[in-house]
Amino acid sequence: MPPNRIDLSAGSVLHIRGFSSRGHPPKDKYIFIIGQKSDSEALGFLISSQLAYLRQEVYKNEVVKVPHNSTTFLRFESIIQCFTMERLSVTALCEGFENGSIGNAGKMPVRYLHRIREVG
């Protein structure tokens, strides 16, 4: 993907400054894009380095582990939180990319898309 365009293809990871969902306060987050539902809506999952979900019975089978140093953009062991789908406005994502609050972090290896399907 050219650096001057947002990458919303499956497997892309966006870094979003001040992202807020599910009633949580705004915080810088990584979002793993799994595809687009339509031209106006992208679908994704949060990526977090908060590993407490691995110990919670209700969530532990709904996360995908991303080991430390398995990507150039995730600095810590992380998890893809597959328990809540994020529905993202493509217009808002493009505007955020234009104003610099959203950036293309990189691409996850395709094996993570397969692992997400196994969890779901």
Mean pLDDT, residues 43-62: 86
Q: Worst-scoring range by mean pLDDT, 15-19, 24-28, 55-59, 81-85?
A: 55-59
- Tally of structural domains, the chain: 1
Give domain status of residue 6, yes or no: no
Calpha distance 60→23 (Å, rounded)? 21
Calpha distance 57→75 (Å, rounded)? 26
Q: Worst-scoring range by mean pLDDT, 55-59, 71-75, 78-82?
A: 55-59
pLDDT band at 119 (very low <50, low <70, confident <90, very high): confident
CB atoms closer than 10 angstroms to residue 100: 8
Give the domain CATH number at 110.
Answer: 2.30.30.110
Give domain status of residue 23, yes or no: yes
Give domain status of residue 59, yes or no: yes
63: which residues sit within 8 A by CB, 6+ positions away? 53, 54, 79, 80, 81, 82, 83, 119
Give domain status of residue 3, yes or no: no
pLDDT band at 4 (very low <50, low <70, confident <90, very high): confident
How many Å separate Cα 44 from the centre of its chain?
Answer: 5
Calpha distance 52→114 (Å, rounded)? 23
Give domain status of residue 2, yes or no: no
**pLDDT score at 106:** 96
Domain interval for residue 78: 12-119
Q: Is the pLDDT of residue 37 over 60?
A: yes
Mean pLDDT, residues 54-64: 82
Give domain status of residue 5, yes or no: no
Q: Is the pLDDT of residue 1 over 60?
A: no
More confident of the two residues 85 and 21: 85
Give domain status of residue 29, yes or no: yes
Give domain status of residue 22, yes or no: yes
